[in-house]
Structure 1
Amino acid sequence: MASADIPSGALVILQEFNSSSPHFKQGASLRVTGKLQKYSVETAIAIIADGSATLAVDTQHLRLDLHVGSLYQFIGELWIQPSNEGILKARVGRNVDGMDLNLYHESLKLLRQFQSDQTSHLAQLQ
């Protein structure tokens, strides 16, 4: 059986995501969550927001009913435009209405702290 080479998508909080972010790289696989602000049926471009941060998401390969005001999570690859703005070409999308976004942010911070502690601990053992 062939192994899958599709990355899972780095967990990214939109409020922390900008051109100086370590994840702001052409082709980076990302997982983002935000409230749908706008959606164009003609272009299949969705704009999601978290606080004042926004990201364009290309949804052309998804079969998903999008509703402005609902919360969505997307996994896909980042494509950086000549204007230095990123657009996520989504390969997976789901409605996550009911998710507490503040609690989600807290859990990601705790996960990052745990991973950092584990890396430090492993480095000390070597």
Structure 2
Amino acid sequence: MASSGSAVESGAPVSLKDLRPPSPLFADGASLRVLGKLQEYSVETTVAIIVDRDASLKIDTQHLRDLSFRVGSIYQFIGELRIQPDNEALLQARVGRNVDGLDLDLYHQSLQLVRQFQVERTRYRST
């Protein structure tokens, strides 16, 4: 079946600390999946700020429906990264969900294992 538009990417799982220059993940238009604790949310601007360890990220939630925001809860967002003129990142979220109860340490361990697998897979393909 032919598609009339470009396919939406799945959103690569990343930690917030990886979204700083010169990381290759810090790229305008990158489709990403992020997770963090809600530090603040503005109903007027629909911008949320999530934090994870010593990193934070602004999330534009204007396209999300039926999602209530509670400061202190953990959320996961999938969307496209937009690099602002001041070199600050903003994720234009297309999906968001509350993931309270998720073990953050285990989540970070799984991210490390996924990266390790991807590096090994790349090395295997190049040999």
Q: TM-score, normalized by length of structure 2?
A: 0.92
User: For residue 53 of structure 1, what is the aligned residue in structure 2?
Assistant: 55
Alignment of 1:31-46 (within 5 A): 31-46=33-48
Helix, strand or coil for the counterpart of 2:124?
A: helix
State the 1:116 CA deviation. Answer: 1.3
Q: d(CA) in 2 for partners of 1:83 and 1:109? A: 30
User: In structure 2, what is the equivalent of residue 15 of structure 1?
Assistant: 17
- Name segments (4+ residues, structure 1) moved above 4 Å: none
How much has 1:14 moved relative to structure 2?
0.6
Paired residues, number:
124
Deviations 1:54-111 (A, max 9, x none): 0000001101111100000000011111111010000000111111111101111011
How many angstroms does 1:19 deviate by? 2.0
TM-score computed with the length of structure 1 as normaliser: 0.93
Correspondence for 1:103 among 74, 81, 106: 106
Instruction: Give the match for residue 68 of structure 1.
Output: 71
Aligned counterparts of 2:117 and 2:29: Cα–Cα separation in 1: 27
For 1:70 and 1:34, the matched residues in 2 are separated by 8
Q: How far does residue 27 in structure 1 lie from its aligned partner after superposition?
A: 1.0
**Which deviates further from its counterpart, 105-114 or 14-23?**
14-23
5+ long unaligned stretches in structure 1: none
Aligned residue identity for 1:76: G
3-state SS, counterpart of residue 26 of structure 1: coil
Aligned to 1:5: 7
Q: Report whether the alignment pairs 1:93 with 2:113.
A: no
Deviations 1:27-57 (A, max 9, x none): 1111100000000000000000001100000
Greater mean alpha carbon deviation, residues 29-38 or residues 15-24: 15-24
Residue identity (%):
62
Moved more, 115-124 or 34-43: 115-124
Matches of 2:38 and 2:55, distance apart in 1: 12
Give the letter aligned to residue 30 of structure 2.
A
Please list every run of 5 or more consecutive structure 2 residues that lacks an aligned counterpart in the other structure. Answer: none
